[in-house]
Amino acid sequence: MDLPLVGLIGVIVMLLFMFAGLPTSFSLLLSGMLMIGHIRGAKVAFDVVGTEMFATSADYIWSVVCFFILMGFLCLYARLGEDIYITFYKWFGHLRGGLAYASIFASTAMAGIVGDMLSVASTMGTIAYPQMKKYGYKDILSIGTIAAGSTIGPLIPPSMGFIIYGVLTGQSIGMLFIAGIIPGLVLAGAFTLNIAIRCAIDPKLGPAGPKSPWKERIISLKYGGPIVILFLLIIGGIYAGIFTAIEGGAMGCVGALAIGLIMRRFTRHSFFNSLIEAGKLIGMIFLIIIGATVFSRFVAWCNLSGFLLNSVTSLALDPKVLAAAILAFYFFIGFAVDILPLMLIMVPIFHPVVTSMGIDPTWFTVMSVISIQAGEITPPLSTMLFALKGIIPGSNINTIFNAAWFFVISTALCIIILFIFPPLVTWLPGLLYGK
């Protein structure tokens, strides 16, 4: 049997393991071991697993993941997300749909310090949803807003998706961070417009809340200061060349810890909880990374990328058509597979094909991330929406699905706009990095 065909069978086996309910890390590791054993023998398979476990865990480059995860949990336990929501609530709460605006804006700001979908959704579900419920917002708007706001996380730096993509492809993580800013703001703007139009058509969806005095609005700005400082510390330092992305993550941890201590937000219990929760997530991610590296070794030995490149070349496909096909594939697979394992599996396969066709790698990276996160909030297979049901007590899964569809449409329109107008992605990194 030809090796590329074995590679395709291996991908199918791995996906079957995932759909059967096996944890992602074990699906990758087991399918990789089995298929390597098939083509190279059992001894080589066990040797690869042992080598990759050590090499991956000892690789300095992956420390960037650890630092940004720890920073995110320090910020969560310092309640910075609650602070930024209060700021936007004071300024926009008196408008129709104002609390939904506040949730979107706060999610965007939180993404600048967390960069993780579930963390943003969990925070907004705990803080924003009770407020919207209190003022009579319908669940089809309030829950949809929380789900949509969480998808901004993978685009606004520091994005875990960009970090993983940059590590896998050797691209500048700082440049990817910068490239995600405008698309993230475009997405936030589309969600805001979605809310405004729907509340104009049906004012009962998001009734206006009480108007905060100007004095309270001005005072509330101080709550947003720490997040702005932390964001500028990380992104400004990386862009200015003061430190690398890894050092930026470390500085972010120091900054988040300092802010929490200065504001007296940490108790001994909350501080240790932030370390424990960060450690749990880092451990889970490293298991996935180890499984993915084993599986990627199998894919490389099967020369799956070379096979795809030869197939695409023989078909003489237009690069834009190829890009659209891969992005559509990412979108549909994103229904059931989280962004981290999906990138670890597919980026080593598709990225060489894309770059060889002359497609801008920065643009394609951003488009890949937004396509995957769009899939992650698309019913009915979305793991993110099922997680949201657990975050919001008493919520109905059918209501969550219906609420998400409105924002899936907005996200799809954003993807089309960014696809047609690539400078929306490439202009800012080109301006700042001269590329």
- 264 sits in the region (left: phi over 0; alpha: psi -120 to 50; else beta) called left
Q: In this model, does residue 191 exceed pLDDT 80?
A: yes
Residue 1: what pLDDT?
Answer: 62
Residue 248's CB is within 10 A of a number of other CB atoms, namely 27
Cis before 154 (ω within 30): no
pTM (predicted TM-score): 0.83
Q: In this model, does residue 233 exceed pLDDT 80?
A: yes
Residue identified by tokens 């910068």 is 178
Q: In this model, does residue 4 exceed pLDDT 70?
A: yes
The model's confidence at residue 157, banded by pLDDT at 50, 70 and 90, is: confident
Q: Which of 125, 140, 32, 35 is nearest to 76 (CA)?
A: 125
d(CA 199, CA 25): 43
The model's confidence at residue 214, banded by pLDDT at 50, 70 and 90, is: confident
d(CA 183, CA 225): 23
Q: In this model, does residue 255 exceed pLDDT 80?
A: yes
SS (H, E, C) the chain: CCHHHHHHHHHHHHHHHHHCCCCHHHHHHHHHHHHHHHHHCHHHHHHHHHHHHHHHHHCHHHHHHHHHHHHHHHHHHCCHHHHHHHHHHHHHCCCCCHHHHHHHHHHHHHHCCCCCHHHHHHHHHHHHHHHHHHCCCCHHHHHHHHHHHHCCCCCCCCCHHHHHHHHHHCCCHHHHHHHCHHHHHHHHHHHHHHHHHHHHHCHHHCCCCCCCCHHHHHHHHHHHHHHHHHHHHHHHHHHCCCCCHHHHHHHHHHHHHHHHHHCCCCCHHHHHHHHHHHHHHHHHHHHHHHHHHHHHHHHHHCCHHHHHHHHHHHHCCCHHHHHHHHHHHHHHHCCCCCHHHHHHHHHHHHHHHHHHCCCCHHHHHHHHHHHHHHHHCCCCCCHHHHHHHHHCCCCCHHHHHHHHHHHHHHHHHHHHHHHHCCHHHHHHHHHHHCC
Chain segment 298-339, per-residue pLDDT in tens: 888 888 877 777 777 777 778 888 899 999 988 888 877 777
CA angle, 67 then 384 then 98, to 5°? 90
d(CA 180, CA 154): 8
Percentage of the chain modeled with pLDDT above 70: 98
The model's confidence at residue 289, banded by pLDDT at 50, 70 and 90, is: confident
Percentage of the chain modeled with pLDDT above 90: 12
Confirm if 30 and 257 have CB atoms less than 8 A apart: no
Q: In this model, does residue 435 exceed pLDDT 60?
A: no
Q: In this model, does residue 434 exceed pLDDT 80?
A: no
Mean pLDDT within 24-45: 89
Least confident span in 82-96, 107-121, 144-158: 107-121
Q: In this model, does residue 263 exceed pLDDT 60?
A: yes
Q: In this model, does residue 363 exceed pLDDT 90?
A: yes
Q: In this model, does residue 96 exceed pLDDT 80?
A: yes
d(CA 348, CA 18): 19
Residue partners of 395: CB distance under 8 A and separation at least 6 = 139, 143, 388, 389
d(CA 65, CA 121): 20
Going 169 to 172 to 175 to 176, the CA torsion angle's sign is positive
Mean pLDDT within 125-138: 84
Chain segment 340-354, per-residue pLDDT in tens: 788 888 888 888 888
Chain-centre distance for alpha carbon 269: 28
Average pLDDT, the chain: 85
Residue 364: what pLDDT?
Answer: 93
Residue 427: what pLDDT?
Answer: 92
Domain ranges of the chain: 3-433
d(CA 205, CA 141): 6
